[in-house]
Amino acid sequence: MGSEIFRIVAFVEKRLTSFAISRLVMMSGVSVRKYKSDSADDPQDLRKVRGVLSSLLSSEEVSELDMLLRH
């Protein structure tokens, strides 16, 4: 099981820009780029990152991301 944070970052960067990743870092307080595809997520960090996604993405994008993360 790879890093969910890494997959979230990849999704946000692809949909938006690297500026959105910087906003994700600022809003969550988590240095998300330290997570690589095979990193183990810190549960606290994952909770913080998930908590701000609705501020960055549309509800459709959040749903799409949720689908991707389930697979």
Residues that bind another protein (CB under 8 A): 13, 16-23, 25-31, 33, 52, 55-56
Cβ 44 vs Cβ 67: under 8 Å? no
At CB < 8 A and 24+ separation, what contacts does 11-20 make?
A: 11/65, 11/68, 12/53, 12/56, 12/57, 15/57, 15/61, 16/56, 16/57, 20/56
User: Whole-number minimum distance, CB 30 to another protein, in Å?
Assistant: 7
User: Whole-number minimum distance, CB 29 to another protein, in Å?
Assistant: 5
Question: Closer to another protein at the Cβ: 14 or 70?
Answer: 14
Question: Closer to another protein at the Cβ: 18 or 63?
Answer: 18
